[in-house]
């Protein structure tokens, strides 16, 4: 506990702000029904109403309350990104560790598959798969998780390769320890710092990808509130100089900035006493 506190005190301002923002977002996402003044999908007024005391951020193209949708949007957008990232991570990290420990043909086969998948531009491959499998939340999460796990695989494999070469892992192997023990007790704990930082970066990437897809109308589907689609639905207002449609975009940006600030600090920590 005191260790955590000491760590918090050494946080630079940017990371501290980032951490605070992340906590805020999570709170908003969890308590959305309590905080939001109106329901997520109900038409409560006329279209494109201006900001007022009744509708603090006005209404959208269908007459739904902008603020409420923004709050519910946190829930949908973050939850899906979180799910996809975690899935990608479990998949990529387990396969990456296996490739590093087993080497030989397992590593060869996995690495070549990953090479080929990564030779196709990510967003474009996702679009191809979406047009084949259709745009449901499940396919969206699965496609993104599988494609993104390739990057996690590469990092985990590289980090684990470095650790496998160390004497303490060799000592465990010639002691006769099983593969799982070596992976879980010798390699994973030492691979954690870069992996945790990578989790943050992957989350940002996945989050931005989903936002982009929703913005293109190919991600999270209406009537669910989602920040990417909210920008798209109300974009016309921008040509009249109204910044309301930019608010969901700013909400996305603020979260990714926050996560990146924290990740940056973690990377700095795990790179050791660079300064």
Partner 1 sequence: MRDIVQLVIRRLLLGLLTVLAVSLVIFGAVSMLPGDAAQEILGQAATPESLAALRLQLGLDQPAWLRYLHWLGGMVQGDFGTSIANGQQVSSLIGERLANTLFLAGLAAIIAVPVALVLGILAALYRNTLFDRAISALTLTAISFPEFFVAYILILFLSVNLGIFPSISNISPGTEFWERVYRSLLPAAALSLAVIAHIMRMTRAALVNLLGLPYIEMARLKGATPRRAVVVHALPNAVAPIVTVVALNLAYLITGVVIVETVFVYPGIGKLLVDSVSKRDLPVVQAVCLVTSLAYILLNLLADVVAIISDPRLMHPR
Partner 2 sequence: MGDTRDDKPLLEIRGLKVEGRTGEEWRPIIKGVDLTLRRGEVLGLIGESGAGKSTLGLAAMGFRRDGCRFAGGTVHFDGIELTHASHQVRRGLRSSRIAYVAQSAAASFNPAYRLMTQHTEFPVLRGVMSRAEAEADAVELYRRMQLPNPEEIGFRYPHQVSGGQLQRAMTAMAMGCRPELIIFDEPTTALDVTTQLEVLSAIRDAVQSFGTAAIYVTHDLAVVAQMADRIMVLLKGETVEEAPTRDMLAAPREDYTKSLWAVRSFRAPEKTGAGAPLVEVRQVSAAYGTTPVLRNITVPFREGRTTAVVGESGSGKSTLARAIMGLLPPVSGHVRLSGKELPRRYQDRSREELRQTQVIYQMADTALNPRQKIGEIIGRPIEFYLGADRRTRDAKVRGLLEDIELDPAEYIDRYPSELSGGQKQRIGIARALAAEPRFIICDEVTSALDQLVAEGILKLLTRLQAERNLTYMFITHDIATVRAIADDVVVMRNGEVVAAGTKEQVLSPPFHPYTELLLDSVPEMDPDWLTRRRPPATGPAG
Q: With respect to partner 2, which residue has the nearer C-beta, 113 or 171?
A: 171
Long-range contacts of 55-59 (CB under 8 A, 24+ apart): 57/244, 57/247, 58/244
Q: How far is the CB of 168 from partner 2 (least distance, A)?
A: 4
Q: Please tell me whether residue 171 binds partner 2 under the rule CB under 8 A.
A: yes
Of 67-75, 76-84, 88-96, 160-168, which part binds partner 2 (CB under 8 A)? 160-168
Q: With respect to partner 2, which residue has the nearer C-beta, 53 or 175?
A: 175
- In Å, what is the CA distance from 71 to each residue of 82, 230, 237? 17, 12, 20
Q: Please tell me whether residue 31 binds partner 2 under the rule CB under 8 A.
A: no
Q: With respect to partner 2, which residue has the nearer C-beta, 134 or 189?
A: 189
Q: Please tell me whether residue 166 binds partner 2 under the rule CB under 8 A.
A: yes
Q: With respect to partner 1, which residue has the nearer C-beta, 97 or 143?
A: 143
Q: Copy the structure tokens of residue 35.
A: 């905080």
Q: Copy the structure tokens of residue 128.
A: 């191809």
Residue 51 binds which entry of partner 2, partner 1, none, CB below 5-8 Å type-dependent: none
Q: How far is the CB of 267 from partner 1 (least distance, A)?
A: 10
Residue 127 binds which entry of partner 2, partner 1, none, CB below 5-8 Å type-dependent: partner 1
Please name the residue ranges forming H helices in the chain: 2-9, 13-30, 32-35, 66-102, 104-118, 122-133, 137-164, 167-175, 179-181, 188-215, 227-234, 246-270
How many residues interact with partner 2 (rule CB under 8 A)? 16
Phi, psi of 201 (to 5 degrees): -65, -40
Residue 190 binds which entry of partner 1, partner 2, none, CB below 5-8 Å type-dependent: partner 2
Q: How far is 65 from 68, CA to CA, in rounded Å? A: 6
| Interacting residue ranges for partner 1, rule: CB under 8 A | 14, 115-117, 119-125, 127-133, 204, 208, 211-212, 215-218, 228, 231, 235, 238-241, 243, 245-246, 249-250, 252-253, 256-257, 259-261, 264, 274-275
158-193: string of b/e by CB count within 10 Å (b at 16+)? ebbbebbeeeebeebbeeeeeeeebbeebbbebbeb
């Amino acid at each position: 506990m005191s260790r955590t506190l000491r760590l918090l005190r050494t946080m630079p301002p940017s990371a501290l702000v980032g951490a605070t923002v992340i906590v805020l977002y999570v709170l908003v996402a969890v308590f959305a029904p309590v905080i939001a003044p109106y329901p997520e999908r109900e038409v409560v007024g006329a279209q494109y109403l201006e900001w007022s005391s009744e509708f603090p951020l006005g209404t959208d193209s269908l007459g739904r309350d902008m603020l409420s949708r923004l709050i519910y949007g946190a829930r949908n957008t973050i939850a899906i990104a979180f799910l996809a990232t975690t899935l990608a991570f479990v998949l990529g990290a387990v396969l990456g560790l296996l490739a590093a420990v087993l080497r030989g043909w397992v590593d060869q086969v996995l690495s070549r598959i990953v090479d080929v998948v990564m030779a196709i531009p990510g967003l474009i491959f996702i679009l191809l798969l979406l047009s084949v499998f259709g745009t449901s939340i499940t396919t969206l999460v699965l496609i993104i998780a599988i494609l993104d796990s390739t990057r996690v695989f590469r990092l985990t494999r590289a980090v684990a390769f470095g650790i496998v070469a160390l004497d303490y892992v060799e000592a465990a192997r010639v002691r006769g320890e099983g593969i799982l023990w070596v992976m879980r007790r010798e390699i994973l704990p030492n691979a954690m710092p870069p992996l945790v930082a990578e989790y943050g970066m992957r989350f940002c990437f996945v989050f931005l990808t989903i936002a982009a897809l929703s913005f293109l109308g190919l991600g999270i589907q209406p009537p669910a509130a989602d920040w990417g689609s909210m920008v798209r639905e109300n974009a016309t207002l921008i040509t009249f100089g109204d910044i309301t449609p930019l608010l969901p975009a700013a909400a996305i940006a603020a979260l990714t900035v926050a996560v990146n600030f924290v990740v940056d600090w973690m990377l700095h920590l795990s790179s050791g006493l660079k300064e």
